[in-house]
Every structure is written in structure tokens, then in C-alpha cells.
Structure 1
Amino acid sequence: MGKADHITWHHAAVTKEKRHLLNGHKSCVLWFTGLSGSGKSTVANAVDEALFQRQCHSYVLDGDNIRHGLNQDLSFQARDRKENIRRIGEVAKLFVDSGQIVSSAFISPFREDRQLVRNMFQPDEFIEVHIHCPIHICEERDPKGLYEKARKGVIPNFTGITSPYEPPDHPEIVIETDQLSIEQAVQKVITYLTEKKIL
């Protein structure tokens, strides 16, 4: 199904810049990427809570939650995984346009797909946060029992086992969850946002 040629983008009367002034902070996407079990959702939600305490306008887009609704029609095959990330990028872009700080917690294993999303945003609006954790520790945690199922062949195309994970080459932030506490991880993100004058 091709893209319709009779649609026009309508510019909002209330601009993103006006929303920034009202909110008292700029908007951006914090794109958390990493292996399953690395701590993406945990850190993203802890950052969101810290932002909420600062009275910031923010929201978390979580991989599993999105697949329950918006992307429930997508499989885990390569083509659908790419489409999954593209859709999330578009949703995150709408959140940023609304003046919010959106934390996106997805494995998003391929550099090409993450670059595609980065290209949707203005400079400094896309902040790649690599949640780095050795795979053996992710397997030890295995909060959902996914690694065990993947090694038994129950789950095909599982990142880190039967499908590759391409770590970011130059992420804005690296958080090593096997070395930092949740509080230290959150502080690292808040410090970055402050230094970049987003907060």
C-alpha cells in the first residue's frame, strides 16, 4: 500500500517552542537501547520518575507495552522489527513535538534502524542511551525467562542468541548497569540533560 499523495501536513497553532516555554524545559527522546534484561525499562522508568519529581512533562514508551497495542500486528522477523522501530520513532517524534521528554525503551538491535529514527529529529533532540550489560549477566537476571526459551529454540530470532545486537558506535550516554546503581544511572541521565540545557 503506497503513501497517499493527497495528504498535507498541518502545522499546529501552538508550536513546540511555545510548549517549551510553558513547560520550563525542552523536549527530546531518550532512546534506551540494549539487550533484553540489561535494564532498559528499569532505568527509563526511574528517569521518568525523577523527571516527574522535577515537574517535567515526560512519558515512557516501553517495548512490550507497544506490542500489546500499536504494534500487535508485527512479528519478530527482520522486516517487522524494522517497522516496529520506525513506528516507535514516529510516535516519539509526536511526543517531542508536544513538548515532552519521552523515554523509549526498546532493544532496537540494529544501528541502521536507530539511525533512521535519529534522522527524524532535530540535532540534540535524539539522545541515544546505551544500556550496556554483559550478556551472561542479562542471562542470569533473565526476568522473563526469555534467554532460557531462546536457547531451547522456543523463541526464534532472539537478540544476543540467534539474532545479533549491534551496540551504538557513538551513543550520547553509556550506562553500565552491572556497575552502576539505579540512582547513579538516573543521575547520569539527569546530569546530561542539565548540561545540554534541556532541563
Structure 2
Amino acid sequence: YLSFENFDRDYFHKRFPNIQMNLSALGFNIPHQRVPISPAFHYAIGGIKTNLYGEVESVKGLYAIGEVASTGVHGANRLASNSLLEGLVFARRAAEKALAFKGARCSQKLHGTDEVLVREGDKAKKDRLRRIMWEQVSIVRTTDGLNAAFREIDEMLHGPIGRLLKLRLLTAREIVRSALARTGSIGVHYRQD
């Protein structure tokens, strides 16, 4: 539980008006009532390896920033609030590099762009994927859970799905594949077995 009992009521309301308003709307009497908390996944360190200018090292002329980028500045875990600063710094650096880029521009059409973006039933499958990732690939991971997640995700990929869900599923499958390959715990990846 999160306790606010050491705060004076007026001070808390004045200092944290949004927290007070949101928790009051949920029915909590702040600062007198404790608020239940639980672990949550809130950030993904990206899988696209970049240098310190947002340049994708494996594709000349391609840039990545934000949660998709793996800049290397966080190590195996990100400290709270650093993602905003990272986004600002690397967005500027990437923009400056992109504007100065003199290499060839790609005019080739990408494969799969003609696919239907969303199909009927995608929302239910997206909710199922969210449940799988939370229950099997969350904060504490096991080989059995990861294998079960991989099978379920792979099964969904072979059915009729829209392109947006397909991209989510492909990303989730690679996260699971990587988690299976790393048998030890490191940073945000914790293996119970």
C-alpha cells in the first residue's frame, strides 16, 4: 500500500492537487486512506540499436528515437524520468543528423503496406496479447511461462489479423524469444528459474 498519512491534508491538497483529485475520484480519502499498489510494466528499452545520434547502425540513413531506440545510455534498466530527457536529447541529435544526411534516399515501397490495418476481432486478440504479456512475460519470468506465451503468440500470428496487430504480435514474439535466450537475470529481465 501507498500511505500518505504523514502528510497534512491541506499541504497534500496544495502540493499534489492532481494526485489528490484523481485518487478522490476513485473513492480514496487522501491522506487518511492507504492506496493499494502493484508492479507494472511502464517502459520498454527499445530493440533498435542506435548510436548517440539516433542513427540506426545497421541501416544507413535511418534514425530511431524514444522507446523504440536502444541508445545504450540506460544500461540494463532505465531510471525514473530519464526517458523524457533521452527523448528530447536524442530527438534533437537525430534531427540534426537527418537534416545533414547526404546519402541516398529510399524510394522503394515497403513490403506489407497494402495489408488491411485492422480486422474484425483484432481488439479481442489485442486484449489477449496484453493478458499473455502481463501473465507470462511480465516482471517475474519462467521458462514454462515464456514458452506458453511464445506458442500463443505464434498461434495468433497464423490467423486472420490486421497489420497493426501483426506488428504488435511480431514485436511481442521477439521479446519472448529474447527472454528465452537469456537464462540469467539482468536489469529489468528477472528469471525465477
TM range (shorter): under 0.3
TM-score norm. by structure 2 comes to: 0.26
Instruction: Give the structure-1-normalised TM-score.
Output: 0.25
Higher strand share: 1
Higher-Rg structure is 2
